[in-house]
A = this chain, B = another copy of it.
Amino acid sequence: MKGKMLTAIMLFFVFCTIGFGQPNLADSQPATSNVRAARYPRVTSDLRAMFQVKAPDAVKVQLQLGKVFDMIKGENGIWTITTEPLVPGFHYYFFIIDGVTVSDPASESFFGWGKMSSGIEVPEQGVSYYTLKNVPHGDVRQKWYFSEVTKAWRRCFVYCPPDYNLNLSKKYPVLYLQHGSGEDERGWSVQGKVDIILDNLISEGKAVPMIIVMDQGYATKAGAPAPVPGQQQSGPSAFEEVVIKDLIPFIDSNLRTISDREHRAMAGLSMGGMQTMQITMANLDKFAYIGGFSGAGRFSGSGLDVNKDFNGLMADAAAFNKKVKLLWIGIGTAEPQNMYKAVNGFHLSLSAAGIKHVYYESPGTDHEWLTWRRSLNEFAPLLFRIP
């Protein structure tokens, strides 16, 4: 009897070791970002990610997910790694097979880092604002338009709210929403889950029904040399011209929009936030709502110079506050220090200059999509409601 008891106690500790010391299959689920039926990568209940790749002939296999992890070769040439617990949200990742950075065919592909990247969705407990629910759904439409600025066809995606197809006489305000450097017009609807976030907000009455236009933030004027992808241009950009001369007229003539400035917003993340500030400040006759997610600065030296920056528009704070209905800036608290300081510093400078704005910090998130999903979820409810 004692012997059996001892065995039971020993087995208990063995199971504890398996159960808690090392994540196991039973305690994990395939990532929702996987392609259909792919068993790996998996996410454990304590948010570790488990990766697996079969590479019997490879000498070295690594995982790049923020930092680089060496994977361990096991039986049958299968390499594995289990990460530390990860911050929830969406993370890009790659495999490095004998020095070559490649995407994981078991993951969906996401355009980021200038290429089709792998990504893993780590579930976030206690929130459901980006969960697909039984609420009325809008749709995301792929649309082609010809740009006179670039003399080429461009693709944009347009979110139309749930009642757009039902209430055929209704007109809607429009948010122009931009991706970051190395991403493209697909970012917000795929990584960002823009349609799900807006469907949920609208169904709860938290946001007014709106159209959201997501364009590609790169443009080259016809005949000009191609810009380096992701590199910020100085001065009025070809993209600004595309937005003002091509995109807005196309949207206003092909969708049921309210086309005055009080019903037009622009926002963007990272590079898209910079572009938003540049474009809206140069075109305040067209935009009344402005958002910068993890990228809103572009002010000279150590702080905001109200006489120089943004063409001196902020020198008269009262006039600016009256003209701009919403200036919203956000940043993740775990973003790189230079980014955090730039956005937080911009916020402090705006406050010092008496410029009305909303400042938001996303707790614990990096320069990643969870910061931007949260930013959208905070920003969208404020749109088109300020008298």
Contact = CB atoms under 8 A, between A and B. Distances in A.
A57, A59, A98, A153, most chain B CB atoms within 10 A: A98
Interface of A: 35-38, 53-60, 77, 94-95, 97-109, 111, 114-117, 132, 134, 137, 139-146, 153, 158, 165, 168, 184, 189, 195, 218, 226, 229, 254-255
B98 A105 contact: no
Contacts of A141: 139-142
11 contacts: A35-B111, A35-B115, A35-B116, A59-B59, A100-B102, A103-B109, A105-B115, A132-B153, A137-B144, A137-B145, A144-B195
Given A103-B109, A142-B140, A218-B36, A116 B116 contact: yes
Contacts of A100: 53-55, 57-58, 97, 102
Given A35-B111, A105-B115, 7 more contacts: A54-B100, A55-B99, A57-B98, A95-B102, A97-B102, A98-B98, A134-B146
A26 to B, nearest CB: 18
A189 B132 contact: no
A338 to B, nearest CB: 26
Contacts of A36: 114, 184, 218, 229
Contacts of A153: 132
Contact of A107 (B116, B145, B218): B116
A158 B229 CA distance: 32
Nearest to A229: B37
Given A142-B140, A189-B142, A58 B116 contact: no
